[in-house]
Amino acid sequence: KAGVTQTPRYLIKTRGQQVTLSCSPISGHRSVSWYQQTPGQGLQFLFEYFSETQRNKGNFPGRFSGRQFSNSRSEMNVSTLELGDSALYLCASSLEGLAGVDTQYFGPGTRLTVL
């Protein structure tokens, strides 16, 4: 099976712009989670989508949003970019997480640089 894919791999934006990142989960996986990784804060949970609905949300401002499509592919959007949004954005997919916690498989990430 193909792994989790994320596009684009690298992105450079300027403050105030907005950005959309894409994630395609492993075939058959219905849950997609997004994480932000920075040297200072480490890996932090942004949100999780399952069956096109946001099931979990971390402690990030409303500028961070996401959605999931019927084929389980997901996008996340960051509006009004700030310098502090520079980070590696990671997507992880898992089966369902209904009966318990399912193993999460990560993609390679999108490196976002905000100038």
Which positions touch other proteins (CB under 8 A)? 4, 31, 33, 35, 42-45, 48, 50, 55-56, 58, 90, 92, 94, 97, 99-109
Residue with the two structure tokens 């450079």: 12
Considering the complex, what minimum distance in angstroms separates the CB of residue 94 from other proteins?
5
Is the CB of 31 or the CB of 72 nearer to other proteins?
31
Considering the complex, what minimum distance in angstroms separates the CB of residue 74 from other proteins?
13
Considering the complex, what minimum distance in angstroms separates the CB of residue 13 from other proteins?
20
